[in-house]
Structure 1
């Protein structure tokens, strides 16, 4: 059974891996011996994450600064990862952004930015690693969706549209690449304490409503995505593809 979750010698790219959910997943993969590529925009946070993970887990870690809006930078990320490790076994498409606004108040540029980072970059990253994984004969792609992949939000229209798209893209890639032994799945985090949702958590009525709706009666923590990510990254999930797994303390099944 231990071998089913073996990640030693594997290499994972985690976009947005310098904080929040991404960093929680990085820690989970590294704890099982996986070497890591932390890809994100903020160089200072990348350096901090790289140093912390190296020190705590004694794995190889590469930090790459990348703008997920720029296709050429995403391709360069894959090239740098291959130059350093000569393999890419796992891709975690976690980088994301959002704006809390009613639909009628969005600027078109804001809509485009959110869809670009949250959905377009998932496609570009996945397409970029596909030839590497195909040649290796195996691969794992984990896309980070959201509860907003399922539910509507009056002030999260662009975010919800992008995350709904992530789930549908996950299904399409899973079907297309299953013959290449590449499994593509999504995680749907519930309300997790990250910088991205601070604007929601700091509003008392929103905070109370979220806790009341969540059977676990609390917010989740970034590290609580690690177990599900390890499962989807490991041989234990070799016959699992095209799924969207909620990690939400029961939020999505609460009536």
Structure 2
């Protein structure tokens, strides 16, 4: 494909985890606008009547809702089985589900560490392994992880999250090395500071909010719709020769 037709997702099925709100909701809507039907997955995803369903169906696309607790390995295995049992194969997997725990490292509990690593890294691998196997068999597929600025930096008071997101960077490259020659693209989006529930504590702290904003060359925090273009790009044939990339959408933060 050439030109804008390379971004057309008509006929594709995209699974978006963490689709109930924030970045995941925005990416699900963007993929639907490009033509994809959506499987929206979240820990508390409503079976019907959700915001993501409303947005996707308003664009004339189908939305299937599934719930899965990403802190539970058995639940992730059940999700993988449910996806394998759909009436069509998964063309696009957007691994966006995540959680965070904020506490100084000396006070960071084992429970918080285990939960964050399981949700943000272990479950991402388990689901990708299952869905990716089918993509390899068919010789095509797009996998997109949500990484973080903390895939490159250490952050403050979020050691588990920083470790998990650093792991996502490595996992993106590792899978790309194995699967690029099998027709499967594996890449990651690197969000900067975004106006979502996960950053509410930071935005409520006047000093931290000001310090962060002062470092962003774009002069504002990101909004979920800022990820629409890169999500469609990485999910489409326009990115067929892009493998193992971590693409910042950060208002210039990493270049500062």
Please give the range of the TM-score, normalised by the shorter of the 2 chains. over 0.9
Distance (whole Å) between structure 2 residues aligned to residue 78 and residue 32 of structure 1: 25
Partner residue of 2:36?
Answer: 34
Distance (whole Å) between structure 1 residues aligned to residue 204 and residue 51 of structure 2: 26
Partner residue of 1:234?
Answer: 236
Moved over 6 A (4+): none
Which of 174, 182, 189 is equivalent to 1:187?
189
C-alpha change, 1:84 and 1:49, in structure 2 (3 Å) is farther
C-alpha change, 1:100 and 1:52, in structure 2 (3 Å) is same
Which of 160, 173, 176 is equivalent to 2:175?
173
Shift of 1:244: 0.6
C-alpha change, 1:72 and 1:221, in structure 2 (3 Å) is same
Which of 138, 141, 144 is equivalent to 1:142?
144
Cα displacement string for residues 86-124 of structure 1 (whole angstroms, at most 9, x for unaligned residues): 110111110111112110011111101000000101100
TM-score by length of 2: 0.95
2:175 paired with 1:201:
no
Distance (whole Å) between structure 2 residues aligned to residue 88 and residue 46 of structure 1: 21
Distance (whole Å) between structure 1 residues aligned to residue 80 and residue 88 of structure 2: 10
CA contact (8 A) 2:14 2:39 kept: yes
CA contact (8 A) 1:40 1:46 kept: no
TM-score by length of 1: 0.96
CA contact (8 A) 2:46 2:67 kept: no
Distance (whole Å) between structure 1 residues aligned to residue 13 and residue 6 of structure 2: 16
CA contact (8 A) 2:47 2:65 kept: no
2:93 paired with 1:91:
yes
Partner residue of 2:108?
Answer: 106
CA contact (8 A) 1:171 1:243 kept: yes
Distance (whole Å) between structure 2 residues aligned to residue 136 and residue 21 of structure 1: 29
Gaps of 5+ in 1: none
